[in-house]
Chain A
Amino acid sequence: MSAHAEAVHDHGHHGPPPANRSSRLDPTTLGMFLFIASEAMLFGAFFTAYFFVRVVNPDAPSTWPPPPYEFPVFVASVNTAILVTSSFTIHWATQSIKRGDRNGLRAGLVVTILLGAAFLLTQAIEYAHVGFNTSDGAFASVFFGLTGLHGAHVFVGLSLLTMAAVRAFKGHFSPDHFHGVEIPGIYWHFVDVMWIIVWAAVYLL
């Protein structure tokens, strides 16, 4: 048995001192976590506005949205299915690269991007045929505000996934190095979670 001791603290260290870290949570993951936390608060503000407008409506909750308008529940539900499916595919992509399956990673990313683009396209078509506009009342403003905010996040997520896909096709990722996929994946799941809440609160309740 060797008698040996070492401490991480290096008294002979030159240059700036190493930064203290209270946890070994990876800084990029921690950064995404904090970003998502701030985003959740942003959505919280929009949800507050939405429920305020809904509660002060004299006919609420029995009639929502105010007649004669209707929310396209079926289209939104189809969009929900699309986005939830995309969570499956990004999970598949991440698990694939963990196993060293680069083809699975590429396929998963491409399918996820296609599903995300389909979601945005469906939402754009929904906006065009919904039958009301932001000038038709507070309910319309919060509807477009909330769903539009989410749509913007889907667009950001798609941009991140596209960058990850480009890197994946260039062979940048390996079972030991896949942070560039995992971080957008976490963000994509957050976007999915937010849509489920938006869908339930706006279209179903």
Chain B
Amino acid sequence: MKNPVRDESSAFQVVWLTLGGAGLVVVAAWIETWLGVIVFLLLVAAALWTIRGGMRHRDQAHVVRDEGPTRRILVVANETVAGGELRDLLGKKAVGVDEHVLLVCPALNSRLRTWTSDEDGARAAAQARLDASLERLVALGVHARGEIGDGDPLQALEDALREFPADEIVVSTHPPGRSHWLEQGVVENARLRFDVPVTHVVVDLEATTL
């Protein structure tokens, strides 16, 4: 869920949207009282849908393009973070450029545990995967660092882009049919949401010899 009052500019937009919405409700209610109620309910539903991510916008505020020899790659991966396909891809992209990789592992937690307990266990597991993957990337000669991200991979990407102006995003997932992220449309939504090239890497851990 995106915070609609994340900054003053967003809050300013909310003022105008409210003014427009109130105007619609008033006009509809003047025509017929129940029409006003219906318009109000429709506007509330539209607002909730938008806040829930219905209108993915191209978020260009975080992007700084760099056409120079340095290439910054933001990688989001969870269980597939140790996959050979991902390592090979990053190794290939590092040829001829000064590659900087930020590897983000979302701290995946169940909703029940999120609401009833904490995410310490999820963060510890993500940290272990991250540490192991970073060691392998170092072995490939990749200048990489890593951190734990939000449980929502899109939110984790947005958070990371605030501090790491990436030239490219790499999303690593399991193959279709075994990937929750693919079912949730993470790759498609990342392409819609961020004005940065998004590469999708499929890592088949069952077929990969680590």
Contact surface of A with B, Cβ cutoff 8 Å: 1-9, 20, 22-25, 29-30, 32-33, 36, 61, 84, 87, 90-91, 94-95, 181-182, 185-186, 189-190, 192-193, 196-197, 199-200, 204-205
Contacts and interface: CB of A to CB of B under 8 A. Distances in A.
A22 B113 CA distance: 14
The majority secondary structure among interface residues of chain B is helix
Given A20-B119, A204-B26, A94 B98 contact: no
A33 B23 CA distance: 25
18 contacts: A1-B98, A4-B138, A4-B144, A6-B145, A7-B134, A7-B147, A8-B146, A8-B147, A22-B107, A22-B119, A24-B162, A25-B6, A84-B15, A84-B19, A185-B8, A189-B8, A196-B19, A200-B22
Contacts, number: 114
Contacts of A94: 8-9
B2 to A, nearest CB: 10
B12 interface: yes
B36 interface: yes
Contacts of A22: 107, 119, 150-151
A157 to B, nearest CB: 12
B19 A2 contact: no
A196 B147 contact: no
Interface string B25-68: 11001000100100000000000000000000000000000000
